Structure formats: C-alpha cells, structure tokens
C-alpha cells in the first residue's frame, strides 16, 4: 500500500515515491571517518550543495588535490563554513551529474534550522522525466484513485511537477 512520507524535509512529490531518487550515505558527511565535505552553492534564493569526497588516491581523471582552505565546506554540526583539510578529493556532484542522467536537488526552505531539509545527499534520475507527479506514478503502476486515497487528494497535488 502506498503511503505518503511525513518526515520533516520529505517532499510530497519526491522522486523516491517512483523509484527515481538516490541518496548517498549521510554518515560520511561528518564525525569520525568523515569523507564527504559539503560545500554551499547558492543560486539566487536557492541553496544547492557540492559534495567533495576525500580519497587516499592521488591520481586519476576525477581526483583533484586541494590545499587547506582552498574550499570552505559547511559543518552542519557547527552551523558554519570551515576550511577543507588538505588532501585529494573527488567532486562527487560533478561525477554523478556528468552522465546527464542525474541531478542534485535544491535545499528546501528552512534548511538552516532543519537538517532534513538540506537534501545535500539527494540526487534524482531525470531521463524521460514526466511533467506531473501523477504521470510519474502512473508509469510505475499507481492509479489516480490510489494516489487520492493515499493523500494526494486534489488536482493541484496530482498535477504538481515531480521532485
């Protein structure tokens, strides 16, 4: 049975519902063993994130050496920008998007006060992306009636762009 997710920060039009979203491991974005360094990238009023993954490798097409402070990453624990440690990094955002099949999504409004709304870990598959949430869900076998029963109860919700 289809159920609408109600966790803070979960979009009611998320590509997770139709199996077109990928989340990367958030545990690597802080604390002991941190490998992901998340960088703020504002675009007008929207906030996007770039993910650098620290690696032991020093060569390869996607590996770039960064010096301490060359990039500022955002610490969700401290709520501030911090100098990235010196090391070798893979720009995961560029690598994931390079196929043209995935896109990162913007943070939701209020991300500064609610970590779940940051969405830095979230990418969605955009090949043959449909115009409406209903169209996306019908592709995987859910009917309009099933969606209405599950909580998408009006035309505006069903006609909303997915994502």
pTM of the model as a whole: 0.88
Assigned domain for 92 exists = yes
**31 & 85 share domain:** yes
**Over residues 152-161, mean pLDDT:** 95
Distance CA 151, CA 163 (A): 17
Assigned domain for 159 exists = yes
State pLDDT tens for residues 85-123: 999 999 999 999 999 999 999 999 999 999 999 999 999
Contact 9, 117 (CB under 8 A): yes
Assigned domain for 120 exists = no
Assigned domain for 119 exists = no
**94 & 31 share domain:** yes
Contact 58, 72 (CB under 8 A): no
User: Number of structural domains, the chain?
Assistant: 2
């Amino acid at each position: 049975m289809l159920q609408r997710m109600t966790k803070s920060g979960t979009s009611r039009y998320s590509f997770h519902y139709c199996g077109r979203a990928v989340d990367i491991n958030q545990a690597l974005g802080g604390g002991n063993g941190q490998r992901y360094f998340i960088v703020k990238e504002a675009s007008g009023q929207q906030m996007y994130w770039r993910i650098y993954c620290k690696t032991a490798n020093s060569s390869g097409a996607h590996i770039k050496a960064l010096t301490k402070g060359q990039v500022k990453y955002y610490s969700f624990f401290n709520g501030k920008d911090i100098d990235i440690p010196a090391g070798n990094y893979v720009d995961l955002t560029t690598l994931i998007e390079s196929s043209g099949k995935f896109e990162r999504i913007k943070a939701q409004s209020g991300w500064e006060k609610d970590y779940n709304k940051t969405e830095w870990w979230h990418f969605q598959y955009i090949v043959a992306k449909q115009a409406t949430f209903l169209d996306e869900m019908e592709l995987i076998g859910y009917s309009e009636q099933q969606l209405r029963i599950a909580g998408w109860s009006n035309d505006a919700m069903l006609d909303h762009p997915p994502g």
